[in-house]
């Protein structure tokens, strides 16, 4: 579903003003016993993760240009050893094509250099050569724009060249802030993966995809399966730790400190409660595992909770609570309208 992806962007762009305390917290601003110890341990972990990241202690440098997927504006040098007349340096068109002697128009967008070598070799061997030897070298990489936001030292938009990964961009952003959470979200338009999208309401929620990575697994345990390769237009978000997020039809959407044993209704209270136009029977909680696209979507009826018919569920760090509008408009359209500054007015 696209809604929680948009919420991640929205909350990262929001100001970090202090959140309201949950009304039934008798201790107010007094930190619970052992809080300083927890903060110290958290700071040590952040420091350790930054050391692994910034000092190059990860063995992630085995990537090369051969892993890079070609795209428009790349400049490619092609060599056929059997006939130098077939050697050519070409730039990929805006449609992702190149034109080669004997072969003609060839789609190369999304291919690695090794894959293109094999395709050219196979095409030439069908009619012209027996076991031709082909080399593909990418002379110029087109610029890719990657955004990183949240709890990093230098959030912003970065223009990069060549194949980049999550670790590369984290390094460019100066590493993690002390208040960084343990989950990283990679938000991507599905079109970046070469997937067609139909112009239907059913496909609107699928135009964005999210991948999550547990930063401790990536940086401290060295799980390189979480070091995702990036594409133009990707957005990386690292929310601050110890928070839950509440959005949709509440009076004050945003991120709120996760107090001990915080429940769904307490989180909604922190967001100043449900708007009269809210649908309290279809409240969604999005929960991420930190492993790729693994996530849970939980649905709760707050009205039943208030009546004591259902238990009030406890929330976990980085849970995203979305309160839909009572009506037929899709969640995706409402949230993107809100991000663009054209949200439904709450009067």
CA distance 77 to 87: 8
- At 79, give phi and psi (nearest 5°): -125, 130
Q: For the chain, what are the domain ranges?
A: 3-15+44-61+145-339, 69-140
Looking at the chain, the whole-number percentage of residues with pLDDT higher than 90 is 41
* 339 confidence band (pLDDT: 50, 70, 90): very low
User: Nearest to residue 288, comparing CAs of 345, 238, 338, 325?
Assistant: 238
pLDDT score of 73: 87
**222 contacts: CB under 8 Å, gap ≥ 6:** 58, 59
Starting at the edge strand found earlier in the chain, the sheet holding 183-189 runs 156-161, 143-150, 235-238, 183-189, 208-214, 291-292
pLDDT score of 266: 95
- Please tell me which of 31-35, 49-53, 116-120, 220-224 the model is most confident about, judged by mean pLDDT: 116-120
pLDDT score of 4: 53
Q: What is the mean pLDDT of the chain?
A: 79
* 315 confidence band (pLDDT: 50, 70, 90): very high
Whether residue 106 contacts residue 118, with contact meaning beta carbons closer than 8 Å, is answered with no
pLDDT score of 274: 93
pLDDT score of 117: 95
**14 contacts: CB under 8 Å, gap ≥ 6:** 254, 255
Average pLDDT over residues 317-339: 67
pLDDT at 121 over 90: yes
pLDDT at 151 over 70: yes
pLDDT at 145 over 60: yes
pLDDT score of 141: 84
Average pLDDT over residues 314-341: 68
pLDDT score of 340: 45
pLDDT score of 76: 94
* 308 confidence band (pLDDT: 50, 70, 90): very high
Q: What is the pLDDT of residues 90-112, one digit of tens each?
A: 999 989 999 999 999 999 988 98
Average pLDDT over residues 21-47: 55
Beta bridge partners of residue 146, listed in sequence order:
158
Considering the domain 69-140, what is its CATH architecture?
Answer: 2-Layer Sandwich (3.30)
User: Nearest to residue 108, comparing CAs of 144, 136, 140, 145?
Assistant: 136
Q: Residue with structure tokens 């892993």? A: 67
Whether residue 170 contacts residue 193, with contact meaning beta carbons closer than 8 Å, is answered with no
Average pLDDT over residues 184-200: 62
Protein fold of 3-15+44-61+145-339 = Outer membrane lipoprotein wza fold like (3.10.560)
* 330 confidence band (pLDDT: 50, 70, 90): very low
DSSP class of 217: I
* 49 confidence band (pLDDT: 50, 70, 90): confident
* 118 confidence band (pLDDT: 50, 70, 90): very high
Pairing of strands 183-189, 208-214: antiparallel
Q: Residue with structure tokens 């409240």? A: 283
- At 301, give phi and psi (nearest 5°): -110, 105
DSSP class of 137: E
pLDDT score of 55: 65
């Amino acid at each position: 579903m696209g809604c929680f992806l948009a919420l991640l962007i929205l909350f990262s762009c929001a100001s970090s003003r202090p959140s309201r305390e949950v009304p039934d917290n008798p201790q107010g601003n007094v930190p619970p016993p052992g809080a300083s110890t927890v903060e110290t341990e958290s700071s040590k972990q952040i420091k350790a993760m930054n050391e692994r990241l910034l000092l190059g202690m990860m063995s992630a440098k085995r990537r090369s240009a051969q892993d890079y997927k070609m795209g428009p504006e790349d400049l490619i040098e092609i060599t056929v050893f059997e006939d130098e007349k077939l050697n050519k340096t070409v730039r990929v068109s805006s449609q992702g094509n190149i034109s080669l002697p004997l072969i003609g128009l060839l789609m190369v967008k999304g291919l690695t250099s090794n894959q293109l070598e094999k395709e050219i070799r196979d095409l030439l061997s069908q009619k012209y050569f027996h076991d031709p030897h082909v080399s593909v070298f990418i002379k110029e990489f087109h610029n890719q724009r990657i955004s990183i936001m949240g709890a990093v030292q230098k959030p912003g938009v970065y223009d990069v060249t060549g194949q980049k990964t999550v670790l590369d961009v984290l390094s460019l952003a100066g590493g993690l802030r002390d208040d960084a959470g343990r989950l990283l979200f990679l938000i991507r338009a599905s079109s970046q993966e070469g997937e067609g999208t139909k112009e239907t309401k059913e496909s609107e929620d699928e135009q964005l995809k999210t991948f999550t990575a547990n930063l401790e697994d990536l940086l401290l345990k060295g799980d390189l399966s979480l070091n995702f390769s990036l594409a133009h237009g990707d957005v990386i978000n690292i929310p601050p730790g110890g928070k839950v997020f509440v959005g949709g039809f509440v009076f004050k959407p945003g991120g709120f400190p996760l107090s001990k044993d915080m429940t769904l209704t307490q989180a909604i209270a922190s967001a100043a409660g449900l708007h009269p136009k809210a649908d309290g029977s279809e409240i969604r909680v999005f929960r991420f595992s930190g492993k790729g696209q693994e996530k849970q979507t939980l649905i709760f009826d707050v009205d039943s909770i208030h009546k004591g018919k259902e238990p009030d569920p406890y929330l976990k760090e980085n849970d995203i609570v979305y309160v839909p509008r009572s009506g037929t408009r899709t969640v995706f359209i409402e949230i993107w309208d809100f991000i663009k500054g054209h949200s439904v007015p709450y009067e």
